[in-house]
Amino acid sequence: MLDITLICVGKLKEKYYQEACREYIKRLGAYCRLTVLELPEERRGGDPSEAETDACLAREAEAIKKALPRGAAVIALCIEGHEQSSGQFAKTLSDLSQTHSKLALVIGGSDGMARSVKDAAAIRLSMSPMTFPHHLARVMVLEQLYRAFSIMNGGKYHK
């Protein structure tokens, strides 16, 4: 069974996002061993300079790197990433699972993630050219993981 770690910068506060995440985490239990890690988002002032934002992203990057499971293939969720259909994402997961027993997906905070994390990733994946709140992105990633496993296992969820 594949070990998947979802690393998220920022605390999920909204109950409706929490409930959606719980549902997909429960469903994913049939397909993988999933760990969701919440890392604290670095505090920024009211109007941080670019240098202050970069420093915060660098500190978040260090926490992300420490949280990455040893030997995991890393997928960074970022706007510079490639878009994939659900079917393509299922194939990506299937292909990665042939060479890795561990995967880590990383969702940055409200200011994104440091280039060093993106550069260390095996894959950069974009959810959409649209902008979404990073908390909603967590729900979307969990749903797409569930959909991908459903596709890989011939389930009826994906139509």
* pLDDT, tens digit, 9 for 90 and up, residues 39-79: 999 887 778 888 899 999 999 999 999 999 999 999 999 99
Give the pLDDT confidence of 94-140 residue by residue, as tens digits. 999 999 999 999 999 988 999 999 999 999 999 998 888 888 999 99
The whole-angstrom separation of Cα 142 and Cα 148 is 10
The structural domains of the chain, ordered by start, are 2-41+55-152 (3.40.1280.10)
Torsion-angle region of residue 154: left (phi > 0), alpha (psi -120 to 50) or beta? left
Note the pTM of the prediction, 2 decimals: 0.94
Helix (H) or strand (E) holding 78: strand 73-83
Residue 125 three-state SS: strand
Selection from 67, 49, 71 nearest residue 107 by Cα:
67
